[in-house]
Structures are given as structure tokens and as C-alpha cells.
Structure 1
Amino acid sequence: MYKNLKYLIKHSAVILVILFFVRICFAVAFVPMNVISSNLAVFPRLLFNLLRFDVQVICYVLLLPTVLTLVFAALHKPWTERVLSRFRKVYFSIVCVLLLAISGIDMGFFANFNSHINITFFDFFNEGPVSLIQTVWEEYHCVYEAIAFLLVTIPVLLLIRRIESGNSSSRQSVRSSTVPTPSRRRIASLSVILLLYVAFLVIGMRGSVWRFPLQIEDTFVSNQKILNDLVPNAVYMFKKAYKEKKNAFRMESTADLLRQYKFKSLQEALDVYTEGKVKMQNNDTLAALQRALFAEVGDTLKQPQPNVVIVYCESWSNYLFNLQQKDADMYFGLERHFKDDLLFRNFQSVQNGTVASLENLYVSTPYPRFFASAYRFKTLPTSIALPFKDSNYRTTFMSGMDAAWENCAEALVHQQFDATYDKFHLLKDYPRATYNCIGVYDEYLFQALLDKLKKPSEKRQMIAVMTTTNHPPFEFPKDLKLPSLPESVYGRKCFAEHNRKVLDKYLTGFRYNNKVLNDFLDRFKASDAAKNTVLFITGDHNVRSILSYDVVDKRYEHSVPLYIYLPPYLRKEAYKSLTNRWGSHDDILATLAPFAFRHTKYFKMGKNLLDVSVPDSTYFSANVEQIESVPAYRKNAERLTDARNLLRHVYFGWYWRNKS
């Protein structure tokens, strides 16, 4: 048994060397020396995470031979050694050849697409095997690559054979009819070794001994993409790509969508959504959909275009502001800003998860998990970045998290965001910044945002921001000091959660968010940036778990506030009277458009909350789980939402089938 485990460890070492050799080849082929020399400080973390990914592969490879070894050991037969040796020789030879092959394919993929194997890898097979082979033969140096593959593979196979040739003693033992019974001392030592070995396998397959298992975020170790690309191996990226392909969403037919949303025809939905203004001509469905779903902004504003900042605050609850009392500060100074500017509290998130809310704002897709689909590699005409770029803005996504989370960095660059600024940019620009397992603390993110707004720029800036600190497991800066809350707050009937520690974490996260937000607004308004910047600040979704909606009004179940700051030259006194309107995330872009866009078409999902010519009663708030409006308008709001969702599904279905 002990001897067989030794052989497994030796084969593991061979696999580790192969994976390390591939990394060296990758570095030589793709990583410039100046990038390496200027980022030496990140190499300890890079090597550590690299090892975690490789060990995970090794542990999964070891699983089958380990199980067979244990089963054969239980049989206690003399022929098991010979059978296991032959199995290992064949098994590890196949594994090593496959590892080298997929690693070579991954490097070829990277050379063409500047990306490891991703979900688009499977698109090649849609062309048919003949055309695939022809393309590979014409575009790659197949002969030279085959020779290189053989030059690497043959020594590896010989090494595997040599490892197993040391098993001659086990073959000699087959001639004996009995197997010696091990002593108690040997059994005890073998048990300890086996226990340690199993622990290594379990930890290795998880890839972590910490709170979170190994995940795509662990590939980000610096603000240099090419260094981050060194971390994952081809096997992990292939597995990730296959999982995304497996989970890809399916598109329903127009007939099925009409039945689902209870419309007789697309024209009926167009009539409801556009009040009869859009008619299909010559059965041109696409043209009709584009007229219904896109709007064009002329040049109605004669003043200069402002910078635009849209902040999604993690789990920024609307209801928790209602807990404010004399000895329980929830606002931390925000009430002054709310009073001076515009605050919409009849407001909801459209989606109820962070990535879903980001996708809804950035690409308005009706399908969830867009960032995890193959379509993220195509620029959608609905991308929020496009109208800003058409209006001469520079577009940036900022967050304290690893931008690898949910493929944000990868997806947004294809949606025409000019830059992403994440955890590693913050740590490089602000060396004293601290962070938790989710990301750099929000106070440093807001400092970076303010510095970016203060810095002179040739173009106006559109900056989309996502905070992270108010998120489980709720880890806060060590020097954070907030006034304690009285016991009466924790005992309120509005809470579904009665565990004091859990409740305190949620309330601390909410109050921390408000404190750093207030600090940012104080400094922002004292700066020159306030003279030419529009701020929209809302929550990505409501706080989860802790509120009981048997007690709390259901209108708060998905409710987040919307705060709007306008520079002096854009303000109108009439806007103050509009803040009781119902709205949702869908209305953000439509409200911004008249201030920012010039002769620009954009995907319009909602209404301009600051349009003084429209009655308040026609505004509504559409969350995926509930619609809110004045009671008399509720049925109209539901029908309008159904019409819009139907038209949007049909439009996206057509676009992806014909353009992707």
C-alpha cells in the first residue's frame, strides 16, 4: 500500500513538472520581459495561486488510481501489484498526453484570441470536422508543432515507464502464494500516511483551506492582464468553458413568447408599448423593433456635457433608513445631501442579484448570466457604453473587487468599456489600501473615484462603479469606529433575523456604506468636479434575509433608493417636485440621456424621471418579481412591462441568431 502511494506521488510530480513547463513556454511566448521586471512584487502570490490551480488538477487525476489502490489493498492478493502497475502506466501516459495536447491547444487559442480557452472554443465544432481540420492545417504550422509535441511527449512517456520499472519487486512477489501480514506498528504508520494523503486530496480538489474554494477570481494577482493569464492552466479554463456552454440559455420562439406574454401578435405588443406609434411595414420585424426599443437624443442641451457617474452600492436597502432615530444614526450625514439634491424612494432594482443588476444596466439583456455566456464576446447594440462613446465619452468600470468575478473584466471590454479599474489597480495606486476577501474597502474606491474626476481629461468621463464592502461575510476595516446602536433597534419587529451577531453585521455594513458615501459626497461637492458631474447612486439590490415582509410593507421588498446629484447649471427647481415618482434601474439611462447624449441613439428601457411634461401617475417600477405604481395605473404598468419584455426577447433572439 505504502509503495503504491509512493508511485502515485512520483506520477504527480511528473504532472506538476509538465504544467510548470507549459507555464514557462507561455511566459516565453507571450509575457514581455519589461512586464515581469516591473511587477516582481506580485510573483510570490502569482506562483502560489499557480500552484493551487495545478495541484487541483493533480488531485482530480489522482482520484481514480487512489480509489483502485485502496480497493486492491483491501483484497490483499499477490497479483494486485502487477495489475496496479500496468494500470498506472497506461493511465498516467494517457493523462500526460492529454495534458500536453490541451495545453498546446490553449496556447494556440491564446495566440489567436489573446484569451485562454473559453466558451467560443466550442463554436469551432459547429463548422464540421472537415472544415475544422482544413482551417487548422492552413493556419497553423502543424508539422513543426507535431514534431515539438513528440519531442516533449516521448521523454514524458519514457519517464512514466521508468517510474513503473522500479516496481519489479512487486512482480517478484506474485510468485509467492502468500502476502506477509504487516505489523501493528506498520499498520499505524500506514494509517497516518493514508490520512495525510486523503487530506491532501480533499484540500487539493477544493483548492483552498480558506472560506472560499478555488475560483476564477484567484486568477487575478495583479493589474496586468498578461500576468493574470499565467495563473490558470488549460484544464481549468477548459472546464470553465465547458460549464459555461452547458449552462448557456436557450432562446424561445416568437410563437412561444407570444403565448407566454399573452399577446396575439407582435403588432399588438408594439401598439401597447408605443401607443400605436410603431407599425410593422412590409413584415420588417427588425425595423419595427428597433424603432420601438431604441430612442434618439438630439441636441436639446446647449450647455457643456457633464461627466457621468453611476454608482451601484452593494445591498443598499431603502427600508433601513427608516430605522433612524435620535440614538441610532443610519444616515451619517446623508440626510443633508438627500435634502439638497434629488432622492427617489419609490424605486426598485430590476433584478435581485449583483451580477444580474450589472447585466441589466450594462447590456439590458433579458437573459440571465449573460457574462457567463458565449455572447459576452460580442458587442451588443444595447451596451450602455456605446451611446456614451458615440457622444465622445471615455467609459470606465470601477470596483474594489477582482474584475475577474463573473467575467466582468472580460465581458465589459467586449461591450466597449475603455477601461476596468479593480482591486489590483487600487492596491497599486493606493499602497496603504486594505481589503477583505471580497475586495478593497469602499473608502479607497471612492477616493480613487474622486481622484479620477479631479484629474484633467480630454474627454468627458462615464464611470460605472460597484461597491463591495456591504456584502457577506461583512469584514470591515480594523480601524472602523461607528457609534453603537441601542438594544431597541435590534428588537424591532421588522427583522426576520434575530441572531444579534448576524443582524449587527448587516447593519454595520449598511452604516459603513452610508458613512463612506457621505464622506465622498462632502469631498466631491467641495471639489471642482462637482461643477460638471452628474451622479446617480443606487443599490444593486435590496438587503437580503434580515427583514420580515409580514411586518414591513411589501413595497420595500426589492426597494433601493436612487440619489441624483446635478451640477448647478443642470438644475431646475421643478425637479424637486418629481421625486415621488415610481421608478427602477431601467429608468436610469433614459433619465441621463438628455444631459449626456448628442445626436445619439440608445436602447431605452425606461422613462425619464425628470421629464416635467409627463404626469406622475404614468410612472411605474418594474422589478422581475413585482411591479409598483399608483393603484389606478397598475394594470397598465403590468401590460406595458409584458409588451416590453416580449419585444426585447424577440429582438435579442433575432440579434443573436443572425449576428453571433
Structure 2
Amino acid sequence: MFHNLKYLFRHAVLLLVILFFARICFAVAFVPLDVVSSHLSVFPHLLFNVLRFDVQVVCYVLLLPTVLTFVFAALRRPWTDRVLSRFRRIYFSITSMLILMISGIDLGFYANFNSHINLTFFDFFNEGPLGLLQTIWEEYHCVYEAIAFLIVLLPVLWCIRRIERGSVPSVPAASPAPSAGPSVRRRICLSAVLLLYITFLAIGLRGSVWRFPLQIEDTFVSDQKTLNDLVPNAVYMLKKAYKEKKDAFRMENTADLLQQFRFKSLQEALDVYTGGKVKMEGKDTLAALQHALFAEAADTMRLPQPNVVIIYSESWSNYLFHLQRKDAEMYFHLRRHFHDDLLFRNFQSVQNGTVASLENLYVSTPYPRFFASAYRFRLLPTSIALPFKASRYTTMFMSGMDAAWENCAEALLHQHFDAVYDKFHILKDYPRAAYNSIGVYDEYLFQALLGQLEKPSAKRRMIAVMTTTNHPPFEFPRNLKLPPLPESIYHSKCFAEHNRKVLDKYLTGFRYYNKVLGEFLDRFKASAAAKNTILVITGDHNVRSILDYDTVDKRYEHSVPLYIYLPPYLRRPAYRQLTCRWGSHDDIVPTLAPFAFRHTRYFKMGRNLLDTSAPDGIYFSSNVEQMEAAPAYRRQAERRTDARNLLRLVYFGKVLR
């Protein structure tokens, strides 16, 4: 048993060498020396994460021979060592060859697409066998690559053969019966080795001994794309791509969608949504849909364009502000800002998850997990960045998290965001910033945001921001000091969760965020940026799980606040009378459009909440699970939302095909 595990360990080392060799080839081909020399400080972390990814692959490869080794050890037959040795020789030869092959394919894929193997890799197989072979032959240097592959493979096969040499004794000899003493020591030694091996295998498969297993976020170790791309291996990226392909959404045909939303025709849906203003006659379907779903922002303001900041606040609950009492501080500095500016409390998130909310705002997608699909590599006409760029803005996404999360960095750069500024950029610009397992604490994110707004720029800025600290596992700065909450708060009837520790984490996260947001607004309003910047702050979704909606009014189930700060030159007294209107995330861009866009078409999902010419009664709030509107308008709002969702699905189906 012991000697078989020894041979498995040697094969594991060889596999690690193969993966490291592939990494060296990648570095030589794609990582500039000046990037390496200027980022030497990140290399300990980079190499550690490289080892984690490679060890995980090796542990998966070891699973099958490990199981067979344990099974054969239980059989205790003289032929088991010979069979295991032959199996290992064949098995590791095949796996080594596959790893080399996948690594080579990944290098070629990266050379063509500036990306590791991803979902689009599987598009090659849509051509059929002959078409696939023709594509490979025409687009790749097959002969040279085959020679290089053999030059690398042959030494590997020789090493595998050498590892297995002597693994089976040529003449089995009878061993004398060991004495009781050595037998006990041998059993203890074998038990220790087995325990260590199984522990190594378990940790290696998970890729981590910490709270979170190895994940795509661990590929980000710096603010340089090429260094981050050096971290994962080809096998991991192929597995990730396959999972995304397996989980990809399905686009339904128009007939099924009409039946689902209870419309007889697209024209009927167009009539409901546009009030009969768009007709199909003389237009193809796509043109009619574009006419209905896009709007033109005319240059009517005759005022300077402001900077625009849209902050999505993690789990920012509307209802929890109701817990404010003299002995229970919830607002901190926010009460004054809410009073001085515009606060919409009849407001909901459209989606109920963080990435779903981001996707809804940034590309208005009707499909879940869009950033995990192959379509994230395509620029969509619905991208929020496009109308801002057409109106001469620069566009940036900022967050304290690793932007590899849910493919945010990759997706948003393809949607024409000019820059993605994440955890590693903050740590580079603010070396004293602290962080937890989710990302840099929100207080440092806000410091970086204000720093960006204060930088001189020839163009106006649109900055989309995502906070992270108010998120499980709720890890807060060590020096955080909040006034304690009274015991009665934890026994409030509004809570469905009665575990004191759990409640305390949620409430601390909510209060921490309010505190640092209030402090940021204090600093922001004292800065020059306040003179020409619109701030829009809302929650990505409501706080989850802790509220009991049999006690709490159901209107708060998906409710998040919407706070709008307007610079002095854009304020109008009439706006303060409009904050009772119903609204949702879909209304954010239409509300910003008259201030920011100039002769620009944009994808319009909702209404301008600050339109003084529109009656309050036509506003509604559409969450995927809940509709809120004035009772007299509710039925019309539901029908209008159905029409819009149908038209959007048909539009995306035509754009993406």
C-alpha cells in the first residue's frame, strides 16, 4: 500500500511539472517583461494561487488511481501490484497527453482571442467533423504544433515509464513474519501516511483551507490582465467553460412567447406598450422593436452635462430604516442627506440577486446569468455604456471585489466600459486599504470613488459602483465601532430570524454601510465634485431571509431606497413633490437621460421619475416577483410590463441569433 502511494506521489509531481511548463510557455508568449518587473510584489500571491489551481487538477487526476489502490490493497493478492503498475503507466500517459494537448489548445486560443478557453470554444464543434478539421488545418500551424507536441510528450512518457520501473518485484519473495513491535510501528506509520494523503487530497480538491473553495475570483491577483491570466491552467478554464455551456439559457421562439404572455400578436403587444404609436406595416420586426424599445434623448436642458455616479449598495434594505429609535441608530449621517436631497421610498429592485441586478442595469438583459453566457463577449445595443459614450462620457465600473466575480470585468469591457477598477486597483492606489474575503471594505471604495471624481478629465464621467461589505460572511474592519443596539431590537416581531448572532451580523452590515455612506456624502458635498455630479444610490436587492413578511408589509419584500443627489444647477423645487412615485431599477436610466444624454438613443425600460409633466398615477414598480402601483393603474401596469418583457425577449432573440 505504502509503495503504491509513493508512485502516485511521483506521478503527481510530474503532472505539476507539466502544468508549470505550460505556464512558462504562456508567460514567455504573452506576459511582457516590463509588466513582470513592475509587479514583482504580487508574485508570491500569484505563485501560491498558481499552485492551488494546479494541485486541484492533479488531485482530480489522482482520484481514480487512489480508489483502485485502496480497493486492491483490501484484496491482498500477489498480482495487484503488477496490475496497478500497468494501469498507472497507461492512465498517467493518457492524462499527461490530454493535459499537454489542452494546454496547447489554450495557448492557441489565447493567441487568437486574448482569452483562455471560454464558452465560444464550443462553437468550433458546431461546424461538424469535416468543417472542424478544415478550420484547424487552415487556421493553425498543425505540422509545427504536432512536432512541438511530440518533442514535449516523449520525455514525459519516458519519465512515466521510469517512475514505474521497479514498482513490481521481479521475483516475489516471502517476507519473514515481523515481530509485534515493528508491526505496530508500521501500522502507525501507514495510518499516518494514509491520513496525510487523504487530507492532502481533500484540501487539494477543494483548493482551499479557508471559508471559500477555489473559484474564478482567485485568478485575480493584480491590476494587470496578463498576470491574472497567468494564474489559471487550461484544464480549469475548460471545466469552467463547459459548466457555463451546460447552464446556458434557452431562447424561446416568438410563438411560444406570445402564448406565455397572453398576446395574440406582436402588434397587440406593441399597441399596449407604445399606445399604438408603432405599427408593423412596412417595417421588419427588428426595426419595429427598436422603435418601441429605444428612445431619443433630445438636447433640451441647455445646461452643462454632469458627471454621473450610480451606486448599487449590497443588500440595502428599505424596511430596516424603520428600526430607527433614540436608542437604536440606523441612519447615522444619512438622515440629513435624505432630507436635503431626493429620496424615493416606493422603490424596488427589478431582480433579486446581485449579478442579476447588475446585468439588468448594464445590459437590460431578460436572461438570467447573462454574464456567464457566450454572449458576454458581444457588444449589445442595450449596453448602458453606449449612450453615455455617445454623449461624450468616459465609463468606468468600480467595486471593492475581485472583478473576476461572475465574469464582471470580462463582460463589462466587452460592453464598452472604458475601465474596470476593482480590489487590486484600490490596493495599489491606497496601500493602507483593508479588505475581507469578499473585497475591499466599502469605506476605502468610497475613498477611491471620490479620488476618481476629483481627478481632472477632459470628458464627463459615468461611474457605476458596486459595494460589497454588507454581504455574508459579514466580515468588518477590526476598528469598527458602532453604538450598541438595545436588546429589544433583536426581539422585534418583524424578524423571521431569531438567532441573535445571525441578526447581529445583518444589522451590523446594514449600519456599517449607512455609516460609511453618510461619511462619504459629507466629504463628497464638501468637494468640488458636488458642483457637477449626479449621485444615484440604491440597493442591488433587499436584505434576505431575516424579515418576516407575514408581519412586515409585503410592499417591503423587495424594496430598496433610491437616493438622488442633483448638483445645484440642476435642482428644481418641483422635484421634491415627486418622491412618492412608484419606481424600480428600470427607471434609473430614463431619469438620468434628460440630464446626461445629448441627441442620443438609449434602451428605455422605464419612466423618468423626475418628469414634472407626467401624472403620479401612471408610475409603477415592477419586480420579477411583485408589482406595485396605484390600485386604479395596477392592471394596466401589469399588462404594460408583460408587453415590454415580451418585446424585449423577442428583440434579444433576434439580436443574439
TM-score w.r.t. the length of structure 2 is 0.98
RMSD, aligned α-carbons: 1.3
Deviation for aligned residue 1:143: 1.6
Give the residue type in structure 2 aligned to 1:364: S
CA distance in 1, matches of 2:259, 2:136: 45
Aligned to 2:444: 444
Give the residue type in structure 2 aligned to 1:172: V
SS at match of 1:535: strand
**Residues 78 and 179 in structure 1, CA contact (< 8 A), matched pair in contact too:** no
Aligned to 2:171: 172
CA distance in 2, matches of 1:39, 1:533: 34
Please give the residue correspondences for 1:35-434 in structure 2 after superposition, counting only pairs within 5 Å: 35-169=35-169, 171-173=170-172, 183-282=183-282, 284-434=284-434
Deviation for aligned residue 1:282: 3.3
SS at match of 1:183: helix
CA distance in 1, matches of 2:200, 2:175: 35
Aligned to 2:651: 651
Deviation for aligned residue 1:138: 2.3
Give per-residue Cα distances to partners, 1:127-181, cap 9 Å, x unaligned: 2222322222222222211111111100000110011112241x422x8799999
Aligned to 1:510: 510
Deviation for aligned residue 1:570: 0.7
Deviation for aligned residue 1:45: 0.4
Give the residue type in structure 2 aligned to 1:492: S
Give per-residue Cα distances to partners, 1:488-526, cap 9 Å, x unaligned: 211211111111111111111111111111111111111
**Residues 81 and 168 in structure 2, CA contact (< 8 A), matched pair in contact too:** no
Which structure 1 residue ranges, 5 or more long, are not aligned? none
Give the residue type in structure 2 aligned to 1:69: T
**Residues 85 and 168 in structure 2, CA contact (< 8 A), matched pair in contact too:** no
SS at match of 1:197: helix
Deviation for aligned residue 1:184: 3.3
The structure-2 alpha-carbon separation of the partners of 1:460 and 1:395, relative to structure 1 and needing over 3 Å to count, comes to same
SS at match of 1:552: coil
Aligned to 2:23: 23
SS at match of 2:171: helix
CA distance in 1, matches of 2:296, 2:282: 23
Give the residue type in structure 1 aligned to 2:295: A
CA distance in 2, matches of 1:85, 1:203: 26
CA distance in 2, matches of 1:283, 1:508: 56
Confirm or deny that 1:637 pairs with 2:637: yes
Give per-residue Cα distances to partners, 1:70-95, cap 9 Å, x unaligned: 11111100001110000000000000
CA distance in 1, matches of 2:381, 2:483: 48
Give the residue type in structure 1 aligned to 2:51: L
Give per-residue Cα distances to partners, 1:543-597, cap 9 Å, x unaligned: 0111110110000000000000001111111000000000000000000000000
Give the residue type in structure 1 aligned to 2:95: V
SS at match of 1:395: strand
Alignment coverage as a number of residue pairs? 655
SS at match of 2:329: coil
SS at match of 1:586: helix
The structure-2 alpha-carbon separation of the partners of 1:527 and 1:485, relative to structure 1 and needing over 3 Å to count, comes to same
TM-score w.r.t. the length of structure 1 is 0.98
CA distance in 2, matches of 1:284, 1:230: 47
CA distance in 2, matches of 1:165, 1:448: 60
Aligned to 1:612: 612
CA distance in 1, matches of 2:359, 2:275: 28
Deviation for aligned residue 1:287: 1.1
CA distance in 1, matches of 2:529, 2:378: 34
Which structure 2 residue ranges, 5 or more long, are not aligned? none
| More displaced 10-residue stretch of structure 1: 486-495 or 440-449 | 486-495
Deviation for aligned residue 1:430: 0.2
Q: Percent identity?
A: 78
Give the residue type in structure 2 aligned to 1:395: T
Deviation for aligned residue 1:371: 0.4
Aligned to 2:501: 501
Aligned to 2:588: 588
CA distance in 2, matches of 1:573, 1:283: 43
SS at match of 1:282: coil
CA distance in 1, matches of 2:171, 2:164: 14
